[in-house]
Structure 1
Amino acid sequence: MRDDPATLTRLLSTVRYEVIPTATVESRVRDAVPPDVTVTVTASPTKGLEPTLDLTERLAAAGYRVVPHVAARLLAGEAHLAEVVDRLVRAGVSDVFVPAGDADPPLGPYDAALPVLAQLSALGNPFPRVGITGYPESHPSIEDDITIQSMWDKRRHATYIVSNLCFDPRVIARWAVRVRRRQVPLPLFLGLAGPIDRAKLLGVATKIGVGESTRFVTRHPSWFARLAVPGGYTPDSLIRNVAKALRSPEVGLTGLHIFTFNQLAETERWRQDLLARYAR
């Protein structure tokens, strides 16, 4: 089956770059990321929400569309959530991503995303756009039937879904079909790892912290195995194969959520090269 340049161009034109709040990432964003690309900012289970909020405020002031990760397990309670909401609204943020997060134990009473989503609704839906996580593959610590029920429950509070990392286009396609069969109509963003080599990834992992790096490796051992083999993983081949598997407009993807691991210049160069290729 041939590639569909129009679909691939649309996906590559509707992208979100996920970044990790480190000391140098703001300058990397300013140097490499066009203003029409949305930047999402992760939350660290060891450093808390403050680095996420601080970077979000600075990038928003610079004119970027910024989506902070408001991890449920990093919230101390309703008062803390209200403070975070007020701070983000004052910064001009209109889109948040609400995962459960990895902090163990949780900082406060929230151990999952749904209670935080419900509280945001109770606060009058201060953000027009709210994202949640989808799991094409099994969650490492949550049963599949729970994630399915959770997505159904969260659909009332969210406006879009970002798929977690998965490297099998057939699995991703089957998951997207199942989401629609469950009558969940939310737009779907394909989460995928960007074009990063193993040495650079390990360098970023060192900056993130040993604990978080260990958690990432534990959850995604197949990715590291693929990175060790030349040609074992390329994001463009994954996008092409997923697009081929999802021809139905009722199931199609809205855009791409790219895990950049702060390799922003490389990611943007890769995206522009692909856009130029499909334009030809």
Structure 2
Amino acid sequence: MTLDPTSAFLQRMSIEITGKQIEKLPILQAKLKPGTRVFIALIDPADVAAQLDAAKQLKQAGFVAVPHIPARFVRDQADLKARVAALAGAGVTEMLALGGGAPQPIGQYDAAIQILETGVFEANGITRIGIAGHPEGNPDISKLHGEAALLAALKQKQAWLKSAGIEGFIATQFLFEAGPVAEWARTLRAAGIDLPIYVGVPGPATIKTLVKYAAMCGVGNSARFIRKQAMNITKLLTVNTPDDFVAGLADLHFNHPELKVAGPHMYPFGGFDKLFDWLSPKLG
């Protein structure tokens, strides 16, 4: 049976959990194929041990664990070495290096490039590293340094990945429309940034929940249609599904390969049950 483009695109998905959500492992095993990438976000620097435990369990269950390493949640190089070594010891070979959303760093790092340049990742056999992308900008950076700083940072990190011989990719913040992704990807390609892009997609959730996450994460222009719906109080508890968004991304993947939109990265904001109720018929 030939899959339709949206279903074929969803076969390339990754998903995000937190260390504490490893209790959802049985549903991930039931619903996702072995080898699926499961990213482990680190929302609180106190959750490092839970992240490591989740990585071990995911690896044992046949998934590819991709822990987040937020620079602002790392105290110093010794802390970074201990953390990366422990994860590598659990079989982790892929990580996502990012600045992190904390207003103030807990230690000496505040940008992903600083932890990348320590040499710790290569020394521990990490072979694939993701970096963060922001199709609609990052208010924390843009306000201080302007949009050009985001592009310059991506170029710098891509150069480091290539010099270190490490495979790289971009994982984006979530958004709601494919148009801004296409425009942003064209800007990257014109600037010589050729890393594949995995686009953040919010799973089915109520409008109220999506508004909350959009406000927390500084998601920009494409959130307007969510806010517009939220203006209608009767729609606040309506569940929004990302069908149109994913179909648009699938079109970019299959019909505009030069943009290198590689796959969707799913955020289960509305819960895992809602996500898999929507996903499972499409994954087959």
TM-score w.r.t. the length of structure 2 is 0.80
Partner of 1:237: 244
How far is 1:31 from its partner?
4.7
Q: Report if aligned partners of 2:31, 2:280 keep a CA contact under 8 Å in 1.
A: no
How far is 1:101 from its partner?
0.8
Larger % of helix: which? 2
Aligned match of 1:175 in 184, 187, 196?
184
**1:159 and 2:158 are equivalent in the alignment:** no
Aligned match of 1:260 in 268, 272, 284?
268
Q: Report if aligned partners of 1:71, 1:101 keep a CA contact under 8 Å in 2.
A: yes
Alignment of 1:63-142 (within 5 A): 63-120=62-119, 123-124=122-123, 126-142=125-141
Partner of 1:225: 227
State the distance in 1 between where 2:252 and 2:31 align: 31
How far is 1:70 from its partner?
0.8
Cα distance change, pair 97–267 in 1 and its aligned pair in 2 (3 A) = same
Partner of 2:61: 62
Aligned match of 1:194 in 196, 203, 226?
203
Q: Report if aligned partners of 2:40, 2:65 keep a CA contact under 8 Å in 1.
A: yes
- One-letter code aligned to 1:166: L
How far is 1:162 from its partner?
1.0
Partner of 1:209: none
Q: Which moved more, 1:141-150 or 1:113-122?
A: 113-122
The one-character-per-residue Cα deviations of 1:204-246 (angstroms, maximum 9, x if unpaired) are xxxxxxxxx7895362483863674477843121011233356
The one-character-per-residue Cα deviations of 1:80-104 (angstroms, maximum 9, x if unpaired) are 1111111111111111011111223
Cα distance change, pair 218–249 in 1 and its aligned pair in 2 (3 A) = closer
State the distance in 2 between where 1:217 and 1:86 align: 32
Any stretches of 5+ residues in structure 2 without a counterpart? Answer: 162-166
TM-score w.r.t. the length of structure 1 is 0.81
- One-letter code aligned to 1:52: Q
Q: Report if aligned partners of 1:33, 1:268 keep a CA contact under 8 Å in 2.
A: no
Q: CA RMSD in A?
A: 3.0
- One-letter code aligned to 2:128: R
How far is 1:65 from its partner?
1.2
RCO (CA 8 Å, sep 6+): is it higher in 1 or 2? 1
How far is 1:165 from its partner?
1.5
Q: Report if aligned partners of 2:9, 2:250 keep a CA contact under 8 Å in 1.
A: no
1:34 aligned counterpart, secondary structure: coil
Cα distance change, pair 216–53 in 1 and its aligned pair in 2 (3 A) = farther
Q: Percent identity?
A: 24
Larger % of strand: which? 2
**1:41 and 2:44 are equivalent in the alignment:** no
Q: Report if aligned partners of 2:205, 2:241 keep a CA contact under 8 Å in 1.
A: no
**1:269 and 2:269 are equivalent in the alignment:** no
Any stretches of 5+ residues in structure 1 without a counterpart? Answer: 203-212
1:137 aligned counterpart, secondary structure: coil
Q: Report if aligned partners of 1:11, 1:253 keep a CA contact under 8 Å in 2.
A: no
The one-character-per-residue Cα deviations of 1:5-25 (angstroms, maximum 9, x if unpaired) are 654333211111101222633
State the distance in 1 between where 2:197 and 2:205 align: 24
Q: Report if aligned partners of 1:45, 1:103 keep a CA contact under 8 Å in 2.
A: no
Partner of 1:12: 10
Cα distance change, pair 198–215 in 1 and its aligned pair in 2 (3 A) = closer
State the distance in 2 between where 1:260 and 1:100 align: 22
